[in-house]
A and B are shown apart, each in its own frame.
Chain A
Amino acid sequence: MAEIKVPVVRNILQANERLAAENRRRFDEEGIFVVNLMSSPGAGKTSLLEKTIDALAGLIGIAVIEGDLQSSYDAERIQKKGVQAVQINTDGGCHLDGNMIQIALDSLDLSGVDLLIIENVGNLVCPAEFNLGEHEKIMILSVAEGDDKPIKYPLMFQICSVLLVNKIDLLPYTDCDVSKIRERVGQLNARGKIFELSCRTGEGFAPWLSWIEEKVGEHRALRAGKHS
């Protein structure tokens, strides 16, 4: 018997990274723009989807992957809007991973889909560590959660390219200062875009929708370029 030391140097999440890269290749082949939508529970992820689908469903093909610990409640909400939605139940798992997305993709007909939105499990910590193959990570912070969240959950705010500050119709009833959110996110991630909106009233929705349409257009153009 001999005691030996073996140098390894392997990323612990390499298996997930490989699956995420496979997903990404597939999305790019199909020319689908994919976003990983993250927030704490109750910030308004599903409401954002409903409102976005209402505005864009006639213009672009949309599909949704819903991640929750339990229930198919959210997928049913989305299906009522007439778009494809598949539910992943993580049975207590706190985040989605590349493998779950790969399995969910088998249940979706991607032909005619321009935009795939993956609604992650409500959580500001764990989903930040797991790539799914998405093009953009987007997060929602509702004003009721407070303007201190960027300080407390820096990784999530640092990695997201878009922050949606939701429920701005509630601002008069909270102590949340949106300028503080902007300042704190600016320290972490000055290149990130910030949209202030309300899923309930629709206020501030137009710039968000324009951004999505622009991104979908870019990916459509890539697909058209490939197939020409």
Chain B
Amino acid sequence: MHELSIAQSLLEIIVDESRRNGLERINKVRLQIGKFAAVVPESLTFCFELVSRDTVASGALIEIETVGISARCEKCDFSFDVHDQVFRCPRCGEAALELLSGRELTVMSIEGETGEDDGGNQSPSCS
């Protein structure tokens, strides 16, 4: 159940970003989670509901985009998607690979409400 500590870290980032951007209530959080990350999205969502109670992010919708596994061959430079957990270059057979994606645990954006009047002002962070 390390999703609980991941949820806590996620909440810390959201609280920090909310303060910095003057958000008083968070409605939506977009995450990217790699297919190879050892995280169960449902479990993370469940844990986040628990840890975010009575915080700025209470009740926020967690939207998760799953990212596939891809790698680049260190020998022939070929980039490819990793299928069936075979971490080997399909072109030259090399095993030395750089993982390009698949282990993401990233907060992409948060959406929420500022406390002030709209007044037509642009959000400073959206520039």
Q: Is B91 an interface residue (CB 8 A)?
A: no
Chain A residues whose C-beta falls within 8 Å of the C-beta of B113 in the assembled complex: 1-4
Within 126-165 of A, Cβ neighbours of B (below 8 Å) are at: 126, 128-130, 151, 154-156, 158
Within 65-105 of B, Cβ neighbours of A (below 8 Å) are at: 85-88, 95-96, 103, 105
Q: Is A110 an interface residue (CB 8 A)?
A: no
Q: Is B57 an interface residue (CB 8 A)?
A: no
Cα A107 to Cα B97 with chains together (Å): 38
Q: Is A102 an interface residue (CB 8 A)?
A: no
Q: Place the interface of chain B in its size category.
A: 35 or more
The reply to whether B85 and A151 contact each other, CB–CB distance below 8 Å, is: yes
The reply to whether B38 and A155 contact each other, CB–CB distance below 8 Å, is: yes
Q: Is A11 an interface residue (CB 8 A)?
A: yes
The reply to whether B9 and A4 contact each other, CB–CB distance below 8 Å, is: no
Cα A15 to Cα B6 with chains together (Å): 11
Q: Is B112 an interface residue (CB 8 A)?
A: yes
The reply to whether A8 and B27 contact each other, CB–CB distance below 8 Å, is: no
Cα A144 to Cα B117 with chains together (Å): 65
Given contacts A3-B27, A188-B85, contact A9 B111 (CB under 8 A): no
The reply to whether A12 and B9 contact each other, CB–CB distance below 8 Å, is: yes
Interchain residue pairs with CB less than 8 A apart (6) = A1-B113, A6-B21, A12-B106, A13-B9, A129-B105, A190-B87
**Measuring CB to CB, which residues of chain A are less than 8 angstroms from any residue of chain B?**
1-16, 93-95, 97, 125-126, 128-130, 151, 154-156, 158, 186-191
